[in-house]
Each structure stands twice: as structure tokens, then as C-alpha cells.
Amino acid sequence: MNRFLYSVLLYLLLPVLILYLAFRAAKSPGYRARWGERFGLTKLKPSEILIHCVSMGETLAAIPLIKHILQAYPSVSITVTTTSPTGSAEVIKAFGDSVQHCYLPFDLPICVNRFIKQLAPKCCIIMETELWPNFVHQATKSGVKLMLANARLSSQSALQYQKRINLSRPMLQSLDMIAAQSDQAAERFMDLGVSPDRIEVCGSVKFDLTIPAGQMAQAKQLRQQWRDKSVPVWIAGSVHLGEFEAILLAHKRLLISKPDALLVIVPRHPEQFNLAAEKIIASGLSLARRSQQDEVNASIQVLLGDTMGELLTFYGAADQAFVGGTLIDNGGHNPLEPAAFGVPVYVGPKHWDFAEITGLLNEAGALTMISSAEELADELMAKFNDPLAYQAASQSCLRVVDANKGALKQQFELACQLIDAV
């Protein structure tokens, strides 16, 4: 498939895109507003630098990089785009009015052309692998310098690109600079036709996660409110539809020998908060909801984290953590968030979006891969019953995170090269 056929297909699917927005809006209030931005219809001021952050995870990783750029180029105007309300909320929370913010429009040629012409950026930094053929084409046509930052490319994604090589190769070859997370990702980009001199292996900026002292203190305070330190508390973060049952089953098995244990479960998507509550109640477990400020007393078996922006703090308040999106065909989420607190991590087999990071943590003994609720319960129990094994895993988490810091500095330097070249 080439870009022309891709564009025709997108136009044909336009009614489906509108139905998708309507469906998401019915489920989540965040999708009910700002539809104009999705089609490039919003009024924007020209901006010299465009940074695209996708959703919440990529936005959190990008925030330190954006802050470095703001400090180094205080007179340069910056626009930050996302594709989800959760990512949007993080941008607004971190930067307020110091950057211009909107959603990146759908990759329809007419929408992207209007967006690029109105914004007129000189350079664009795209986080991870959020690449859109028409956007990249129009940016290149308009003379915009392009950098793919914190770039990851799983074997599955590389295979999909290879299957559509006539569409993907021109797009990838249009990138002026790729800051790859790993040697494996760099090799996959080269196999797809990217020149080696445009690729720099920098590691992942997600290793440069810094936990503010205030957030650490808040996590400790939450833990004291929930349970005594001797009582087991574990968290299942970024849980998707299709994983709730396994998590609740694992907790039920844990409760057999640890009847006072607490599970904190945090759905990935806000529209699943109420569904999660229904499943917890249907399972027969006692429930408290964070959004309603319910008391987490000794009788509560599950705390539903149905708020936004608190997941990292919840990780710090727990003893062990399961990271969701890994028991279903999703690709997973960032296991470094609990690891940065020294919290041992568990993931399912479908963790390809974080394969290299997961591998590093696993080799160090900081992370364990599980494939079922029973296996998860057994692993949780093993560490709750063996303080030495728990401590070893906890220390391994901190060592891996600390040993791999430095990607932020390297990628900032590459970004400066891009900015200075225009």
C-alpha cells in the first residue's frame, strides 16, 4: 500500500472515525469536547517547535525533555500535541500556558495540511513511534526537520511496517534523526531502510524518571492510611478490559493465606472505572473507591483507583505491582514506574512495547513474567513470605533504573542539534 491508497482508505473511513469519537465520548467525558482539533479546525498561533506526545505514558516521558528545551530556548514558541484526554491533562498540568497545546488531527491530508500550514513549525519532535504517513509527508514537504525521540520499534511493529513497505519506507526515510531506545530498535529501523547515520542509540528517557520528594512522602502517607507496613498491599496498574477477572482471581487466591491483604486496581481507561467497580462487587470482594474518598479500613479488600494522575503515587504506596496491558494483545505499559520506587514488578507475556526494558528488569531479578492468575498469586505470595527475596528484587529495581539513566541528556543534545540547524 502506498500513501495515495492509504489516504483514500482514510477518507472512506471518515464516518467510522466520527463514530469512534462518538463512542469514546459516550464512554468518557474527555472525548466530548474539542472535536475541531481532531480535524485541524482549531485556530492556532504559529509555533517554531512542535512536539507530539501521543497519550499519557509518552507525555510523562516527554515532560522532562520539554522542560529542558523550554529552559534552553526561552524565547522559542512550542506547541505540544497529544491524541488522548489523559495525555492532554498531563500537558496542561505540567506546562499550563507556557506552551500551546492541542490534539494532533487525524491523518487525513486536508486536516494535516491545514494544521501544518497554520502552525508553520521549523522542527518537530515525535515521541516513541507515533508516525503518521500524511503528517510526516506534509511536514517534510513544508521543510520541517523531524526527530523521532525515545524511539522504540518492537518486532511486531517492524513486521507490520515491512508488510506495508511502500507506505512505511518513505515515511521512515523522511526522518532527519532517530534517537533509538536500544540496539535492537536501531537495527529494525535500518532493516526498514533508514540510513545508519540518522540513528543514534540513546536508551530510554523513561529510565530518567525522578520521583519528587513530595510524591514519595505522599505515597508513604497513603500506605499508612491503607494498611500497616506488615500487611500486604499490591497494585495492578493500567489494567485493561479482559484483565480484570484475572487480577481479582489472583487477589482471591492471595486472601486465602493473607486475609488482610489489599489490592489497589487502577484501570487504564477512565471509561472503564464503573465497569471495574461492577466486576469487583460481582466477585464478592469488598470495595472502596478513591474518587469517592471511601475509607480504606481493615474490611476493604479492593481499592479502585478511579482517579486521574495518581497511578505513580499508588505504585509507591504498594509492596508489589502488576503492570497491565500484558495479559491481552496490547503490548503493555511502563514497568519502570513501580521499579523506580523499588517495587518488584510482574507482567504478562504480551509486553512487546517494553520488551527491552522488561528484559533488563527480568535479567536483574527485579521483574517476573507470569501467564495466569494462579501464577501471579503464587509469585506474590512467595515474595510476601520471603523478606530476603523481596528485598533482593526491590534493590534490583533501583539498581536497574539507576544504571540506565542518561538517555534524557543524550536526547536533549540531539534535540538541540535539530533546533539549532533550522
Q: Which of 163, 152, 190 is nearest to 332 (CA)?
A: 152
Helix (H) and strand (E) counts in the chain = 19, 14
**Cα–Cα distance, 297 to 124 (Å, whole number):** 49
End-to-end CA distance of the chain: 33
Which triple of cell numbers denotes residue 327? Answer: 495479559
Distance of CA 334 to the CA centre of its chain: 6
Q: Bridge partners of 180?
A: 151, 201
**Cα–Cα distance, 18 to 47 (Å, whole number):** 28
As a whole number of Å, the CA-based R_g of the chain is 22
What 3-state DSSP class applies to 147?
A: strand
Q: Which residues of 347-361 are buried (b: 16+ CB within 10 A; e: fewer)?
A: bbebbbbbbbbbebb
Long-range contacts of 348-356, Cβ-Cβ distance < 8 Å, separation of 24 or more: 348/243, 350/325, 350/326, 351/323, 351/325, 351/326, 352/154, 352/155, 352/156, 353/152, 353/154, 353/325, 355/154, 355/155, 355/184, 356/152, 356/181, 356/182, 356/184, 356/185, 356/204
Using DSSP bridges, classify how beta strands 302-304 and 262-267 pair: parallel, antiparallel or unpaired: parallel
Q: Would you name the residues annotated as active-site residues?
A: 58
